[in-house]
Amino acid sequence: MNNANCDPHGRRVIIVGGGPAGLTAGYRLAQMGLPSVILEKDQIVGGISRTVSYKGFHFDIGGHRFFTKIKAVDDMWKEVLNDDFLRRKRLSRIYYRRKFFYYPLRPFNAFAGLGLWESTMILASYLYARLFPHRQEETFEQWVSNRFGRRLFQTFFKTYSEKVWGMSCSEIRAEWAAQRIKGLSLLSALRNALAGQNGANKKRVIKTLIDEFDYPRLGPGMMWREVAARIEQSGSRVLLGAEVEGIMRAENGVEAVTISRNGEREVLHGSDFISSMPLKELLLKFEPPVPDQVKTAAHNLKYRDFLTVAVIVDKSRLFPDNWIYIHDPAVRVGRIQNFKNWSPFMVPDQSKTCLGLEYFCFEGDDLWRQPDRQLIQMAAEELEMLQLAERSSVEDGHVVRMPKAYPVYDSEYNDSLRIIEDFLRGIPNLQVVGRNGMHKYNNQDHSMLTAMLAAENVVGAAHDLWRVNEEQHYHEEVTIAPEQQRLLKEKLRAAFARMDSFAFATATGLVCSMLLLLATLFVLLRQDSPLVPYMGLLGQYFIGYSVTPGGALLGAVSCFTWVFLLSWLFAYLRNFMIGFFIYRIKRKMELLTFKDFLDHF
Amino acid sequence: MAANQINDEEKLFSGILRLNAKVFGLVLGIVLGLLVFVATNWLLLKGGHRTPDGRYVVGPHLQLLSQFFIGYRVSFWGSIIGFFYGFALGTLSGSAIGWIYNKIVDWRK
Ligand SMILES: Cc1cc2nc3c(=O)[nH]c(=O)nc-3n(C[C@H](O)[C@H](O)[C@H](O)COP(=O)(O)OP(=O)(O)OC[C@H]3O[C@@H](n4cnc5c(N)ncnc54)[C@H](O)[C@@H]3O)c2cc1C
């Protein structure tokens, strides 16, 4: 085992995790002719993006849409599944106070559902928030309220967010919400706006990405099973049930990992290591242990866990949505997926429906520990309470618990990540990739991108994975070369720089008063100029002015004053308008990026 | 990353505009030149009036510009000459404004 899967130079890449990131790394390496060993602790590939099968019914751990703006990722998806992708129209709604609201929100539908009084109150609270915003934006609640008003926040964001994170919105840090729309940098917003990207075209791209998506016929697991199969065909290995228990580190890097498989411990040596297992676990598995500071940082990384109760309902049609957000606080379920609406191939019998009821929880809490039977019973009861299905029509069910579904962005995570990043930079042959692997709120595409770059690094590239721009969000339109980006930034800075009102007013005042002075003296030199009576009229505005040497001097002073004031006003208004333009662009982008906010959990 | 972003935004707002004196002068020159050109031809198109002594006069007030712009007349040729005068005056004034503005900005820094 120890020397198997080496290239002719004795190189062997060990990849921890058989989720999208780990498998993508293995796939890329195989394409480059480098063998690898992928270690997956579960008996199934795909990680969080797996598809579970139960009695012929297939379901995901939260429905997984395939959408990306990263070409390399899109190419790989097409290369692997090609004809097995279905293009799906998205339909999702929010269930709130026994009513359904389209999500992303549609103004008329929301208005009709909320009624005149509630809509007016929402509008009033929005105006109030714009006029009197919270001065400090420390919490998620303040952050959203400042932008949308308190009432809208309470209606459409509060209960769901609290279900997802298991804490009050007044405890969730504002920076987390800001992170969710971090695709928005002012510079890129301006760049897009000026490059016409903010117009119809950009809106269409965003709309398409939100309203449509690709989905493999048999769920995302189909993709990852196929990738694993191709990796094995290339001579690399995907070991299932192989849990990494120790990372053995020497002076110049990681030397080996210890794994337990089928109850036995093994040591696997390698030349390069790529890990997609949760960062916290990775660091705590180091032998010898990591320094205390790093250990504390690792302990500071927190996660939110998740469980899906898939129920089989003896009904051919229940509702048309792909999924429904359940804001109602009376039930614990957070979201309900209707997998048949993702792909009809997900159910073996079209007279039945398979729903996935998603519960957000913490590993070890009461929900997590509840026996499967009770969870299925609760799911059936909640479906009835929500009037989506009768309890008696629920025939069967299956529970999947997914620990560490969401890396938590709390007040500590960023500093901790910095410490960890610094530490890992000192281990050149170990790269971390993926979602929990880097503690980044990545979707499949960005998880895959980090893995692709890591594979290239193994053969000599020097990508900095920590800097992989997950802000290269799908809302962002164009990617441009760094040099062009620098130039563009400079140009934008020059274009939007503030005009110095005082300097401009002084300069124009001086030049105009000089011109008046010179013109008057010139007229005086030319005796009997017919201009004299006309120029004298300037005295109506420029106090003390007359077509005489003394009058010219007094007029120049007064001309300076007038021109100074007007130019100052001009410069002030110019700065104000530019500020307003920037503010408008920013808000527009903010709203646009916030449009599908709930979709990110 | 977030820090970079804030940094970018701060830079964007903290930047003080520099005027390109040459360009500013050129723009003002063209504007002023065109102003004289259009104003003159506008009066020509509108036509003039006869004075009691039978002279046909077009734009007597604009004609006063010839006190400064020697050779200028309210005629088509005059409008071209006027354009050049206007252009020269605008360019000089604009460049002077740009130059003084930049000096003051430097000085205030
Ligand atoms: C509810 C939900 C909905 C989502 N919806 C979408 C969506 O619509 N579209 C989308 O693109 N993305 C979606 N995502 C995100 C997507 O699931 C992840 O981005 C993706 O799965 C991350 O891949 P990964 O390989 O980095 O990590 P993971 O999928 O977490 O894979 C890591 C793998 O490492 C294994 N592992 C862990 N520890 C060890 C160990 N010690 N030894 C060996 N193996 C180990 C795990 O078993 C796992 O298989 C969603 C996520 C969630 C939670």
Q: What confidence tens digit (pLDDT) does each residue in A91-111 have? A: 999 999 889 999 888 889 989
Distance from CA of A590 to the nearest CA of B (A): 15
Q: How far apart (Å, rounded) are the C-alpha atoms in residues A68 and A446?
A: 9
Closest-CA residue of chain B to A528: B67
Pocket probe mutation, ligand 1, options A38, A43, A49, A213, max atoms within 8 Å of Cβ: A49
Per-residue model confidence (pLDDT) at position A473: 47
Nearest-by-Cβ selection for B68 from A175, A519, A582: A519
Mean pLDDT score, A346-368: 96
d(CA A142, CA A139): 5
Q: What is the pLDDT of residue A199?
A: 52
Residue A547 has a pLDDT of 94
Whether residue A182 and residue B11 make contact (CB cut-off 8 A), yes or no, is no
**Which of A189-203, A206-220, A441-455, B68-82 has the weakest average pLDDT?**
A189-203
**A471 pairs with which residues across the strands?**
none
Q: Residue A106 has what pLDDT?
A: 87
Q: How many angstroms away from the CA of A3 is the closest CA of chain B?
A: 41
> Quick one: pLDDT at residue A484?
66
Q: How far is B90 from chain A (nearest CA, A)?
A: 11
Q: Do A508 and B64 touch (CB under 8 A)?
A: no
Nearest CA in chain A to B19: A499
pLDDT at A356 over 90: yes
Query: Chain A residues with CB inside 8 Å of B17's CB?
Result: 494, 497-500
With a cut of 90, say whether residue B12 has pLDDT above it: no
Say what percent of chain A tops pLDDT 70.
Answer: 90
Cβ atoms of A35 and A58 within 8 Å: the answer is no
> Given a cut of 70, is residue A310 above it in pLDDT?
yes
More confident residue, A196 or B54: B54
* pLDDT higher than 90, residue A140: no
Q: Of the candidates B17, B61, B96, which has its C-beta nearest A497's C-beta?
A: B17
Instruction: Tell me how far the alpha carbon of residue B101 lies from the centroid of ligand 1, in angstroms.
Output: 58
- Predicted confidence band at B11 (pLDDT cuts at 50, 70, 90)? low
How close B88 comes to chain A (CA, Å)?
13
Minimal Cα distance from B98: which residue of A?
A507
* Higher per-residue pLDDT: A259 or A178: A259
Could you read off the pLDDT of A104-139 as tens digits, one per residue? 888 899 899 999 999 999 999 999 998 999 888 888
**Quick one: CA dihedral A502, A504, A507, A512, positive or negative?**
negative
pLDDT at B76 over 80: yes
The pLDDT of residue A142 is above 60 = yes
Counting residues of chain A whose pLDDT is more than 90, the rounded percentage is 69
**What are A464-500's pLDDT values in tens digits?**
999 885 445 433 334 555 666 677 777 777 778 889 9
Distances (CA, A) of A506 to A137, A509, B18: 40, 5, 15
Residues from chain A that touch B64, judged by Cβ atoms under 8 A, are 530-531, 534
Write the residue with the smallest CA distance to atom 37 of ligand 1.
Answer: A277
Query: Ligand 1: does its nearest atom lie under 6 Å from the Cβ of A243?
Result: yes
CB contact under 8 A, A503 and B105: yes
Band (A456; pLDDT cuts 50, 70, 90): very high
What is the distance in A from the centroid of ligand 1 to the CA of A61?
9
Instruction: Kindly state the average pLDDT of the residues B66-89.
Output: 96
**Span from the CA of A47 to the centroid of ligand 1 (angstroms):** 4
* The pLDDT of residue A190: 65
**Quick one: average pLDDT of B14-41?**
94
pLDDT at A203 > cutoff 70: no
Residue A206: predicted pLDDT? 57
Tokens linked to A356: 């996935």
Q: Which residues of A142-179 are buried (b: 16+ CB within 10 A; e: fewer)?
A: bbbbbbbbbbbbbbbbbbbbbbbbbeebeebbbbbbbb
Domain boundaries defined on chain B: 21-108
Pocket test for ligand 1, best of A60, A64, A322 (most atoms within 8 A of CB): A64
Residue with tokens 């104000």: A576
Asked whether the beta carbons of residue A503 and residue B108 sit closer than 8 angstroms, the reply is yes
Residue pair A335/A207 in contact (Cβ under 8 Å)? The answer is no
- Of the pLDDT bands very low, low, confident and very high (cuts 50, 70, 90), residue B32 is very high
pLDDT tens sequence across A27-79? 999 999 999 999 999 999 999 999 999 999 999 998 999 988 889 999 999 99
For the ranges A5-9, A387-391, A400-404, B13-17, which has the lowest average pLDDT? A5-9
